[in-house]
Amino acid sequence: MTEEMQNRTRQTPGAGPVLVTSGTGKTGRRVVERLAAREVPVRVGSRRGEVPFDWADESGWEAALSGVEAAYVAYAPDLGAPGAPAAMTAFGQVVRRCGVRRLVLLSGRGEPDSVVAEEALRAASGDAELTVVRSAFFTQNFSEGVLVEGVRGGELVFPAGDTAEPFVDADDVADVMVSALCGESGAGRVHELTGPQALTFTEVAVELTGATGREVRYVALAGAEYEQMLVGYGVPAAEAAFLAELFTTLLDGHNAAVTDGVKQALGRDPKPFARFAAEAARDGAWDA
Ligand SMILES: NC(=O)c1ccc[n+]([C@@H]2O[C@H](COP(=O)([O-])OP(=O)(O)OC[C@H]3O[C@@H](n4cnc5c(N)ncnc54)[C@H](OP(=O)(O)O)[C@@H]3O)[C@@H](O)[C@H]2O)c1
């Protein structure tokens, strides 16, 4: 692409807003902050967002996408979940009707089921430019997500065995998303994002012990034990089974290799886990 063409396709002042689905979540919130800092108009779409948007109810999608230039697509509960391909097809059809020019899709790294959903969106959304970002496990799962209470309580109970995972920081993911949403580097491509180093959960526990100043230990569970634990906490049986299967498959070792996806997209290195942990501790993520 020539420089002139790149300039033409970039997000320009006066263009329509960007719809950010899951705009209150771990990546969506960061995408919203970054777009606002660039003075790009944003619609925060989620069940609790300023624009009502529910992945389980198509009736609000057309209003949310009407007049929109670009959309950040973060499907809930997970792009690898059984309902995701049908939802991506239906969403892509609305994208096409509304003339949305650019889509940036959050996907999971090394998840064949998520690739099916990616392709469903690509097939349904016509000429819209599609960027796919396949991300490793977020470091923020330890500070804002499924594992935050475990860190506070000193025990990471998870079905990860001794597998290493190259955790990636949601700040880095959001930077890649915003670059693509604004038609800059990496737009229209498929990215595989990881952090700079693969760590086992035992090594993560050591990092978190150092960052919090309190002992955090890792307790490995089999998938079936984890599923039973979730059911015991009141998670519906089907969701518990899906999550146990998702985590044990993701963390079976096939995703352990580090990629240079952040460097390729942004020209800089990703954030190390130790820096994430120090920043989260400083910001009070694990305070009582
Ligand atoms: N967590 C990871 O490590 C990771 C890694 C790679 C990819 N992903 C992908 O990231 C996506 C988000 O997962 P996450 O765990 O990180 O969650 P999250 O984005 O932190 O939180 C969930 C978000 O989804 C919204 N949401 C939940 N149910 C919704 C619904 N029915 N309709 C519309 N919005 C809904 C929530 O807002 P409201 O409650 O306001 O609706 C919230 O903004 C998934 O597609 C997952 O596959 C996650």
Nearest to 167 by CA among 201, 137, 134: 137
DSSP result, 15-82: SPPEEEETTTSHHHHHHHHHHHHTT--EEEEESSSSEE-BTTBGGGHHHHHTT-SEEEE--SS-TTST
Per-residue model confidence as pLDDT tens digits over 218-268: 999 999 999 999 999 999 999 999 999 999 999 999 999 999 999 999 999
pLDDT confidence tier of residue 14, bands split at 50, 70 and 90: low
Nearest to 259 by CA among 168, 175, 181: 168
The residue behind tokens 């959001």 is 174
Would you call 259 helix, strand, or coil by DSSP?
Answer: coil
- Cis geometry, peptide bond prior to residue 77 (ω within 30 degrees of 0): yes
Residues with CB under 6 A from ligand 1: 22, 24-28, 46-49, 53-56, 74-76, 78-79, 106, 108, 135, 137-138, 141, 145
For residue 10, pLDDT beyond 80:
no
User: Picking from 9-13, 87-91, 123-127, 225-229, which range would have the lowest pLDDT averaged per residue?
Assistant: 9-13
User: What share of the chain has pLDDT > 70, as a percent?
Assistant: 95
Q: Where does the pLDDT of residue 4 fall: very low under 50, low under 70, confident under 90, or very high at 90 and above?
A: very low
CA 70 → CA 75, 76, 130, 153, distances in Å? 16, 19, 10, 41
* Distance from C-alpha of 223 to C-alpha of 126, rounded to nearest angstrom: 39
Residue 2 confidence (pLDDT) above 70: no
pLDDT for the residue numbered 13: 43
To test ligand 1's pocket by mutation, which of 46, 139, 146, 167 has the most ligand atoms within 8 angstroms of CB? Answer: 46
How many C-beta atoms lie closer than 10 Å to residue 74's C-beta? 26
- DSSP structural state of residue 138: B
Identify which of 60, 2, 42, 48 has the alpha carbon closest to the alpha carbon of residue 22.
48
- CA-nearest residue for atom 36, ligand 1, is 22
| Residue 5 scores a pLDDT above 50 | no
Mean pLDDT of 35-60: 95
- Residue 105, beta-bridge partner list: 73, 132
The residue whose CA has the least distance to atom 32 of ligand 1 is 54
Question: Phi/psi at 157 (nearest 5 deg)?
Answer: -100, 110
Residue 137's nearest CA partner among 204, 72, 216, 218 is 204
Cα separation, 263 vs 245, in Å, equals 31
Token pair of 276, please? 């994430």
